[in-house]
Amino acid sequence: MTFTANSARLVLAVSCTLVLATAGEAQDDFDTLSQTGPDPVLPEPDYISLWPQLKVAEVVGWSEGQTPNVPDGLTITAYARDLVNPRTVHTLPNGDVLAVQSRAPEGKPKSRPKDFVRGWIMAMAHGGGGGAQKESNLITLLRDTDRDGTVDERSDLLTGLDSPFGVAWIDDTLYVAESGAVLAYPYVLGQTEITEAPRVLTPLPGGPINHHWTKDLALSPDGRLLYASVGSNSNIAENGMEAEKRRAAILEIDRATGASRVYASGLRNPNGLTFHPETGVLWTVVNERDELGPNLVPDYMTSVQEGAFYGWPYSYYGEHVDRRVRPKRPDMVEKAIAPDYALSSHVAALGLAFTEGSAMPAPYDNGAFVGEHGSWNRNHFNGYKVVYVPFENGSPAGKPQDVVTGFLDGDVARGRPVGLGIDGTGALLIADDAGNTVWRVAPADGAVIDAPVGTDMRASAPPMQ
């Protein structure tokens, strides 16, 4: 069957009805908190539904004076407004903050009727912060000269990029992960613009499909290696495994040569690459697969083991087989390891920031903040907030706690949190891509760390084996 523009319009019309009908259904009584932690509840998968359950939060943006909510002991302010789809934040060693703004690459082919529906849904769910859309795909430098939590200087460091996401800095070089490559720009701390052309350090899996296009970056504690996250080219390999080469994986890149290898695989859509400040272990948050029902599969946070396989697409949470994938691969299922910590289904976890060495007060001083972008494919909302997971001895140790809320207001969203970071004063920064804002969450007593610590410098090298 040829899928034409007319059939696409028909599908969209039918889907609009389905979305509205589904959104009006009563919430189910599933306890989403039961799907958090090291041993989540996993209901039976639903292989029958032609259409996934849907409920879309249309983005309306923030009105003057509105902010997200934080608990007592914390305060929240707008660090930078009028950005254009800020996705990630990155602190340089001198305290300057890079706000990476981007939109998806254009022209991604759609092979199924569901792809048209999903595109329409995601356009509605991302919104634009309530205003006319300006040029994105740029990196803006934010400078707080007197370390009082307020940006004093702002300049666009790079423009005209190809859907940037992850960045890293070392040795007077700024690395930028675009949708199809890691670029290396000469950059001395303090510069407010980059005019020199970059060199391509290494290509990354890109188009023409490029289903999960965001590529995050992390610098190894010893400074020799970069780690890049590459999401899958599909939901569950419906485009064939040939389209998934070096995808659903974290790649290790030699900074000196650009040579790369698959470091870990079976991670459907990893983001938030971060080394733990005390253990030097790499962690990530991962968006799991769709269309198995509203309560499968939980997104998760996990340490990343070298050579490990985490199941996608053949299984989830260890050896829970996904029957939709052909051909079956029992050998791969047998290899699959379960992630460390579930975050509940469809929260769309995208940001991760550890708090050791920050200015965060107790009880937020030994753990991880997770940015949950929010669901669209279940019959009641999940996510749309920043949660805190306490850690002990380098591992999660307790249930997630809601910390930054108020992004969701009934059936509309003011914003959606994405990447997280710690600024030069030790406060938490939140990139809100739909609200076009970077938020700053700080101790209410005004406490700050003694000196800025760059994002890339927060972790110590792992102990020798």
Question: What is residue 89's predicted lDDT score, i.e. its pLDDT?
Answer: 98
Does the residue 145 lie in any domain? yes
Question: What is residue 122's predicted lDDT score, i.e. its pLDDT?
Answer: 55
Whether the Cβ atoms of residue 190 and residue 94 lie closer than 8 Å to each other? yes
Instruction: Let me know the angle formed at the C-alpha of 281 by 359 and 76, rounded to the nearest 5 degrees.
Output: 25
Reply yes or no on whether the pLDDT at 183 is more than 90.
yes
Q: What CA–CA distance (Å, rounded) separates 84 from 436? A: 5
Summarised one tens digit per residue, pLDDT across range 295-314 is: 999 999 999 999 999 999 99
Q: How confident is the model at residue 132 (pLDDT cuts 50, 70, 90)?
A: low
Long-range contacts of 31-35 (CB under 8 A, 24+ apart): 32/295, 32/344, 32/345, 32/382, 33/344, 33/399, 35/295, 35/298, 35/342, 35/343, 35/344, 35/345
Q: How confident is the model at residue 1 (pLDDT cuts 50, 70, 90)?
A: very low
Does the residue 128 lie in any domain? yes
Mean pLDDT across 48-56: 73
Please report how the helices 5-23 and 113-126 are oriented relative to each other, as an axis angle in degrees rounded to 10.
60
Our CA dihedral for 85, 348, 208, 240, rounded to 10 degrees, sits at 180
Give the chain's mean pLDDT.
90
Which residues form the domain of 53? 5-457
Does the residue 463 lie in any domain? no
Whether the Cβ atoms of residue 190 and residue 169 lie closer than 8 Å to each other? no
**Burial 435-452, CB ≥16 within 10 A → b, else e:** bbbbbbbbbeeeebbeeb
Reply yes or no on whether the pLDDT at 14 is more than 50.
no
Does the residue 114 lie in any domain? yes
Query: Tell me, what CATH number does 249's domain have?
Result: 2.120.10.30
Q: Is the peptide bond before 327 cis (omega within 30 degrees of 0)?
A: yes
Q: Kindly state the percentage of the chain with pLDDT values over 70.
A: 86
Mean pLDDT across 306-328: 97
Give the residue ranges of DSSP H helices in 127-197: none
Shortest CA distance to 235 belongs to which of 379, 346, 372? Answer: 346
Reply yes or no on whether the pLDDT at 397 is more than 50.
yes
Residues near 401 by beta carbon (within 8 Å), at least 6 away in sequence? 363, 387, 388, 389, 390
Q: How confident is the model at residue 50 (pLDDT cuts 50, 70, 90)?
A: low
Residues near 185 by beta carbon (within 8 Å), at least 6 away in sequence? 158, 173, 174, 175, 176, 194, 196, 198
Read off the pTM: 0.91
Mean pLDDT across 247-270: 98
Question: What is residue 80's predicted lDDT score, i.e. its pLDDT?
Answer: 98
Reply yes or no on whether the pLDDT at 49 is more than 60.
yes
Please state the domain count of the chain. 1
Question: What is residue 52's predicted lDDT score, i.e. its pLDDT?
Answer: 62
Whether the Cβ atoms of residue 290 and residue 36 lie closer than 8 Å to each other? no
Question: What is residue 7's predicted lDDT score, i.e. its pLDDT?
Answer: 39
Q: How confident is the model at residue 114 (pLDDT cuts 50, 70, 90)?
A: low
Summarised one tens digit per residue, pLDDT across range 210-242 is: 899 999 999 999 999 999 999 999 999 999 999
Whether the Cβ atoms of residue 126 and residue 434 lie closer than 8 Å to each other? yes
Does the residue 465 lie in any domain? no
Question: What is residue 430's predicted lDDT score, i.e. its pLDDT?
Answer: 98
Reply yes or no on whether the pLDDT at 19 is more than 50.
no
SS3 category, 88: strand
